Structure 1
Amino acid sequence: MTDEPGPAERALYLTAVRRGGRLRPEDLAPADRPTLAALVARGLLTPTATGWTAASPRALGDRIGLELRTRAVRLLRYAERLPGALAPLAHAYDEARRPVAGPPSGGDPVGGPSAVGPSAVGPSAVGPSVVGPGSIGCGAGRVDDVAEVRRRVGDLVAECREEVLAAQPGPRPPEGLRTALAQDLSLLRRGCSLRAVYQPVALADAAVRDQVALRTGRGAQVRVLAEPYERMLVFDRAVAVIPAAGDRGRAVFLTDPTTVAYLVAQFERDWARGAPAARHLDPPSATTVRIGRLLARGLTQRAVATRLGVSERTVAAHISRLRDRYGAQTLFHLGWQLRGEHRD
């Protein structure tokens, strides 16, 4: 049972508590039998030779809480896997609905290794390429050639004058960041704003944290969001680059103002929910890491304290630092964010 005890169950349990934690058969009315059975099934009453004994509600809460968290983690993992599992079907569906026309006008892959800034586009993340609105000439242009994608994104980076927005889910290969560093720093030196959203797994690598620190030290802004979101780049709020039909080996360049404005709004929503990357750049203490691992396994604060042989107050202090680091509102939310970063 994972639901809460009802009024009748609470009343009968309190009766047992008032009677010294015990119930005898003669204490029960015939109508109490279903309620008694429910309390025994929950583990709140334990049968004995002479009747029933009240058990600790805290033990029940811990057991049910762990069961619910385990179930929630299973469902969240399923939710993360489902889009990828359906991607081949979605791609076939999109291809079947695409009208027959001439060769695509252009686009580029938005996947693979990438830097904090525009260089995050392209499977090899050799560096960003920019495609100005005039380069496409229409609301959308698809590019299937990797080299052409890199060239266009590189042009966009070189021509950018005000702002680059980058939503980059998944891990960030440090070699791609190092390759793109010169372009990103040049962008920042020109006075352009550079804002990027990463997932916690990206900053689990010390080499990636070093690369991020080099950019934030020159004015780039990076936030970390432990939620699913879509990959995109937006240049000067005029050109957006997104993966083509779920295929990160190809990309679409969008210049339609309404579409670009919609994507910018999506980015701003994710940006507002993200936590500053500065909280991730300084590695946590060994004790904090151990506590994070136990939380990721679904243990409660009390269970973590017992496992480590420390006080709950000490565990609470470490949890507070972890919550601040990951911007988590609840203990379960924190455990979910830590699941990919802290594993035994």
Structure 2
Amino acid sequence: MHPLRAIGLTATAEDIYLALVQRGPTKSAALASILRVAPDAVDAAADELSGMGLVEPDGERLVARPPRAALDALAEIRAKELGALRDSADELSQFWRDHHAEGPGYIEIVRMEEAREALARRVQDEAVHQVRALSIGPSGRLAAPPKVAPGCLEALARGVAYSVVYGARILRDPIGREAIQTCVNLGERARVFPNVALNLMICDDRFAVVAAPARDPQRRHHIAVQRSALLDGLIGVFEAYWQMAVPLPAGDESMDDVGAAPTDDARQLLTYLSSGLTDESIARELGVSERTVARRIARLQEVLGAQTRFQLGVQASRRGWL
């Protein structure tokens, strides 16, 4: 439980308030001893709490105040600040558009590294329902090793649904596979596609971040896309990749076999299917029952993430199984 840290107070301030609620009025020196912090830290934290109306002095002791009235007042102040922030954003955005008429208002190009990182982090922090993403994986000789995106694990922990299509390149990297497995074990739905063309993150249906690939990380830029027909198009791009991609193992299953070559029997079955043979003809060629043929086809569809036999042929061809 960290209710006060969540609104910007320090850990020491939170600990002091909780201690005062539990113990009643207490001297600063006693709090410093109990919490094993310096007296100056207690004084600074007490000032934080006093400023919010959560603590008041009573002689040499500090006394906790009921939180409801103080925090309701703070919520009201911050709600007004948030409204003012949104109004300022609208006003400044209009001012920007008036002086940069060459570009649409729903697109923002971010070039500075810190701003790019902050934009990517916004996707994780602001997502309420879902994050959908395409990930090429590291590219260029100066690319950093793949890792879990900052804020992703926290978002998964609070129940945000993640659906990610990874380029096959990232699965060839043991560090990349480990990072993906960490997320999958926490509930991420992951798929792999041989050639993912761009890095894309979609935060709910509110905005998207497109990371244009570049060999030199210092020359990369991100594009933020707000609600628009373009955002709808990017969502459609993700969904198209998702339908074509191959599911990665869920839970604690290993990813090591993803992309492995098919068995001779599977390759022969796929060849017969691509030739247009019926299940009856395939069964006769293989010397098995039609039920066995149907079961093997269903298994191949499961492995390749295909919902129809046509998709099965497409997936097998893309993976070089035919």
Question: What TM-score comes out, normalization by structure 1 length?
Answer: 0.44
With a CA cutoff of 8 Å and minimum separation of 6, indicate the structure with the bigger relative contact order: 1
Question: What TM-score comes out, normalization by structure 2 length?
Answer: 0.46
